[in-house]
Amino acid sequence: MLSWFSDFIQLIYPNICAACGLPLEKGERCICTQCLADLPFTHFHLYEDNPVAQIFWGRIKIEMGTALLYFHKKGRTQNLLHNLKYKNRKDVGFYLGQLLGNQIKENQIFLSCHFIVPIPLHPNKLKKRGYNQAECFALGISDILNIPVMSDIVVRKIETSTQTKKTRTERWLNVAEAFKVNYSDKFVSKHFLIVDDVVTTGATIEACAQAILSEIPGSKISVAVIAKA
């Protein structure tokens, strides 16, 4: 009876693939099988000298960096991010986090992380959106790696404007001094995995990492994002 009711609901309100917009088949989650096969995975986790790590060369020391997907305008990745950020599709972030978690679960650098830290939203933006998309992604990674998510280690004390269409310098000035660390002795000499949805110039992640590295003695940073622009 429950199966019949579920099928009936699917006819009226079909689950939609967050990548292509077509109805999902039974057994598919968030992304249809075809889109999953065609997603532009980066596989950056397989080598340390990758494009995400290179963003931070000469700026901050990170142990490892990776991105799950390449970002292409009007492509599947953009659709996924749009659904995650603006369509209340928290499940998309969690699922993508699981995908990345399964990719990096044999990587010893990522496995050495003690805490996962999603880039925080300012309270005003969090209230407006209702959730932090980076935290959804973080929870998916945590589900696979069994590393706790600590969303209150770093807080955003300044409500910055959107980074879209800003130059590299403008992006950095926009987020400089934007983050504050809630210090605790239990964080000393720990390895933090900072996660976000997209990395472009790396200014936001750099500002967050700088706050951690400067305020928590012996701390180390790694980075993981959904997409590399």
| Number of domains forming the structure of the chain | 2
Please check whether residues 31 and 47 belong to one and the same domain: no
Q: Do the bridges between strand 179-181 and strand 220-228 make them parallel or antiparallel, or are there none, so unpaired? A: unpaired
Range of lowest pLDDT (7-11, 63-67, 133-137, 199-203) = 7-11
Please check whether residues 2 and 18 belong to one and the same domain: yes
Q: Global pTM?
A: 0.88
Predicted local distance difference test score (pLDDT) of residue 161: 57
The whole-chain average pLDDT of the chain stands at: 89
Predicted local distance difference test score (pLDDT) of residue 178: 83
pLDDT in tens, 95-139: 999 999 999 999 999 999 999 999 999 889 999 999 999 999 999
Which range of residues forms the domain containing residue 17? 1-38
Q: How far apart are CA 114 and CA 112, in angstroms?
A: 6
- Number of H-type helices and E-type strands within the chain: 10, 6
**Domain containing residue 204: CATH number:** 3.40.50.2020
Which strand (E) or helix (H) includes residue 181?
A: strand 179-181
Q: Is the pLDDT reported for residue 41 higher than 80?
A: yes
Please check whether residues 78 and 172 belong to one and the same domain: yes
Please check whether residues 109 and 195 belong to one and the same domain: yes
Which one, of 118, 112, 113, 86, lies nearest residue 226 by Cα?
Answer: 118
pLDDT in tens, 196-216: 999 999 999 999 999 999 899
Please check whether residues 111 and 15 belong to one and the same domain: no
Predicted local distance difference test score (pLDDT) of residue 157: 83
Q: How many CB atoms lie within 10 A of CB 50?
A: 18
- Return the SS3 of 150: coil
Please check whether residues 79 and 4 belong to one and the same domain: no
**Rounded mean pLDDT, 67-94:** 96
Please check whether residues 12 and 95 belong to one and the same domain: no
Q: Is the pLDDT reported for residue 193 higher than 90?
A: yes
**Rounded mean pLDDT, 84-97:** 96
Please check whether residues 106 and 26 belong to one and the same domain: no
Please check whether residues 140 and 188 belong to one and the same domain: yes
